[in-house]
Amino acid sequence: MKPIPDIHIGEEIKSRFDKSGLTQKEFGSRIGMPQQNVSRVFNGESIDTKRLVAVSRALNFNFFELYASIDYHEVHTEGDYSPASDSGDISVLVGDAVLAERVRLLEKIIAEKEERISDLKERISDLRAK
pLDDT tens readout for residues 89-118:
555 556 666 777 788 888 888 999 999 999
Class of domain 1-80: mainly alpha
The pLDDT confidence band at residue 87, using thresholds 50, 70 and 90, is very low
The closest alpha carbon to 39, from 50, 28, 49, belongs to: 28
pLDDT at 82 over 50: no
* CB contact at 8 A, 3 and 75: yes
